[in-house]
């Protein structure tokens, strides 16, 4: 089986505007079913969660369904699924809760490959208790971050390692399962930023052995909210700051205030949409796995096509070289800035943004600074016609008059 891309595209009203979207790492376009789920929840009778009125029951059902959907997507216990405003917000909250267990003799490990949302919360939390911050480096020539790179920073004093599942800048996918074994061998916890990875791979949190795994539904067709799937035994021991009368049960103790029911309904709809891409029957988890395989093959084919073609265009450098990576390519140009390329492509109806995309550390490690580069990211709705437009625009760009005097 191959992915029916024309059928996929028919579900996205935004594509009718005519642009070729290579901006999915910043957030995908939204299928109609997700918008309808959000709308339907907003216009239906709803109240705070409860069991007496129909409105209360509806709110409760939405939350339960969303936890179960995330459970199927990530192969994790729904009882450890926390919802919040964003992955960044949840990571800050959990860093504060976890740091209550740390002291000045402890060490926290972060990486040069990560988005700042999985760096700064941990650095700030460590500094607040005087703990030492250690840094995992990666090879800027290849983009690789290896288990050996992680082991070099571990010690008996390590309390937590925060690491990306896939770089949102260059797509590198570290070997999480092997890294988790090393982290757990010294008695530390592993917090994985799976925001970029979840959109491009089937996830099994238990197989990865992540203690806490974060993702964002708007990266895989859903609404703007954040999720952390945690080991229930780890969450049970944490005491986050919370309102006195709010629930002390897990995961509710980590969810500050009333949940956005409409966004949770949209999250469930997004996961159901992905499962439907499998074109098969069966339970949702098995359909999600089949859909992931179809999507992965499609995206990898387009990525390989872009890489081959760009490799033949003089004046463009590709920075995505890791053996295992997502369909995300970072480009810089000999005679044009990233922003100039972004604007040129935009004038051709090709949406591929430029910058460092909050990947503060990797952009600097690559020598690109805050300017970063032009990022081309693929999604299931991209087709060969999109790629044709991208490659034509890039060819015309490097043939155009260079910037500067």
**pLDDT tens by residue, 50-76:** 999 999 999 999 999 999 999 999 999
* Confidence class for position 398, pLDDT limits 50, 70, 90: very high
Residue pair 135/106 in contact by the 8 Å Cβ criterion: no
Q: Rounded distance, CA 286 to CA 279, Å?
A: 11
pLDDT of residue 402: 63
Final residue in a domain of this structure, among 196, 215, 234: 215
Instruction: Looking at the structure, tell me whether residues 208 and 317 fall in a common domain.
Output: no
101 and 209 within one domain: yes
User: In this structure, is residue 100 part of a structural domain?
Assistant: yes
What pLDDT shows up at residue 404? 53
| Over residues 142-147, mean pLDDT | 98
Domain count, the chain: 2
| Any domain includes 130 | yes
Residues 206 and 114 in one domain: yes
3-state secondary structure of 57: helix
**What does the pLDDT read at residue 209?**
97
| pLDDT per position as a tens digit, 150-170 | 999 999 999 999 999 999 999
Q: Is 60 part of any domain?
A: no
Distance between CA atoms of residues 298 and 382, nearest Å? 9
Q: How far apart are CA 83 and CA 36, in angstroms?
A: 21
When the pLDDT of each residue in the chain is averaged and rounded to a whole number, the result is 97
The reply to whether 97 and 165 lie within a common domain is yes
- Asked whether residue 150 is domain-assigned, the answer is yes
Distance CA 91, CA 86 (A): 9
pLDDT the model gives residue 403: 54
User: CA–CA separation, 51 vs 369, rounded Å?
Assistant: 53
In a domain, 48, yes or no: no
Q: Final residue of a domain: which of 215, 249, 277?
A: 215
Going by the DSSP 8-state scheme, the letter that residue 226 receives in this structure is E
> Contact at 8 Å (CB) between 114 and 164?
yes
pLDDT band at 320 (very low <50, low <70, confident <90, very high): confident
Residue 21 structure tokens: 């979207």
Longest dimension (CA), the chain: 72
CB 372 within 8 A of CB 352: no
Same domain as 171, residue 97: yes
Could you tell me if residue 206 is inside a domain?
yes
Q: Do 313 and 389 share a domain, yes or no?
A: yes
Structure tokens at 191: 């917090």
Alpha helices in 312-347 (DSSP H): 338-347
pLDDT of amino acid 1: 86
Instruction: Report helix angle 54-74 to 261-276, nearest 10.
Output: 40
Which CATH number do you get for residue 202?
A: 3.40.640.10
| Predicted local distance difference test score (pLDDT) of residue 108 | 98
Neighbours of 101 (CB within 10 A): 14
Residues 93 and 198 in one domain: yes
Q: What is the rounded average pLDDT of the residues 22-38? A: 98
Of 173, 190, 215, which residue is a domain's last?
Answer: 215
CATH code of the domain in which 335 resides: 3.90.1150.10
Q: State the first-to-last Cα distance of the chain, in angstroms, to the nearest integer.
A: 53
| Domain ranges, residue 121 | 87-215
Query: pLDDT at position 50, please?
Result: 95
Is 120 found in the same domain as 25?
no
Residue whose structure tokens are 């209360």: 56
Sequence-separated (6 or more) residues with CB below 8 Å from residue 53: 47
Q: Tell me whether residue 141 is in a domain.
A: yes
- Rounded to a whole number of angstroms, the CA Rg of the chain reads 21
Please name which of 334, 335, 332, 313 lies closest in space to residue 402, comparing C-alpha atoms: 335
Count CB neighbours of 346 within 10 A. 15
pLDDT of residue 267: 98
What's the rounded Cα separation, in Å, for the pair 219 and 249? Answer: 29
- The DSSP annotation for 156-188 comes to TTEEEEEEESS-TTT-B---HHHHHHHHHHTT-
| pLDDT for position 118 | 98
Domain co-membership, 19 together with 105: no
Q: Which two tokens stand for residue 239?
A: 């005491």
Do 114 and 205 belong together in one domain?
Answer: yes
In the three-class reduction of DSSP (H, G, I as helix; E, B as strand; rest coil), residue 67 is classed as: helix
Instruction: State residue 400's pLDDT score.
Output: 86
Let me know if residue 288 belongs to a domain: no
pLDDT band at 264 (very low <50, low <70, confident <90, very high): very high
- For the packed helices 384-399 and 338-347, what is the interaxial angle rounded to 10 degrees? 120
State whether 91 and 210 are in the same domain: yes
């Amino acid at each position: 089986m191959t992915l029916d891309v024309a059928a996929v595209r028919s579900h996205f009203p935004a594509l009718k505007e005519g642009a070729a979207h290579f901006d999915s790492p910043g957030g995908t376009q939204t299928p109609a079913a997700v918008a309808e789920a959000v709308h339907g929840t907003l216009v239906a009778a709803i109240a705070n969660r409860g069991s007496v009125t129909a409105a209360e029951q509806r709110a409760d059902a939405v939350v339960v369904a969303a936890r179960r959907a995330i459970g199927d997507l990530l192969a994790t216990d729904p009882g450890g699924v926390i919802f919040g405003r964003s992955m960044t917000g949840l990571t800050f909250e959990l860093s504060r809760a976890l740091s209550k267990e740390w002291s000045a003799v402890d060490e926290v490990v972060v990486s040069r490959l990560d988005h700042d949302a999985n760096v700064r919360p941990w650095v700030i939390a460590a500094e607040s208790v005087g703990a030492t911050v250690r840094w995992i480096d990666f090879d800027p020539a290849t983009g690789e971050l290896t288990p050996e790179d992680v082991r070099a920073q571990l010690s008996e004093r390590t309390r937590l390692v925060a690491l990306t599942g896939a770089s949102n800048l260059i797509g590198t996918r570290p070997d999480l399962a092997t890294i988790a074994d090393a982290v757990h061998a010294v008695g530390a916890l592993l917090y994985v930023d799976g925001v970029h990875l979840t959109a491009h791979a089937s996830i099994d949190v238990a197989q990865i052995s992540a203690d806490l795994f974060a993702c964002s539904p708007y990266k895989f067709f859903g609404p703007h909210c954040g999720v952390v799937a945690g080991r229930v035994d780890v969450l049970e021991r944490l005491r986050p700051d919370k309102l006195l009368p709010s629930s002390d049960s897990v995961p509710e103790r980590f969810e500050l205030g009333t949940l956005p029911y409409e966004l949770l309904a949209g999250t469930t709809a997004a996961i159901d949409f992905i499962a439907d891409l499998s074109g098969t029957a069966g339970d949702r988890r098995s359909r999600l796995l089949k859909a992931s395989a179809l999507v992965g093959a499609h995206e990898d084919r387009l990525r390989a096509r872009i890489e081959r073609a760009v490799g033949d265009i003089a004046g463009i450098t590709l920075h995505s070289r890791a053996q295992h990576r997502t369909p995300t390519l970072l480009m810089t140009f000999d005679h044009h800035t990233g922003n100039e390329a972004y604007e040129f492509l935009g004038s051709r109806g090709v949406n591929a943004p430029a910058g460092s995309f909050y990947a503060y550390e990797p952009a600097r490690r690559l020598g690109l600074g805050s300017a970063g580069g032009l990022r081309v990211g693929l999604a299931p709705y991209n087709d060969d016609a999109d790629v044709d437009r991208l490659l034509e625009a890039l060819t015309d760009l490097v043939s155009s008059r260079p910037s500067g005097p």
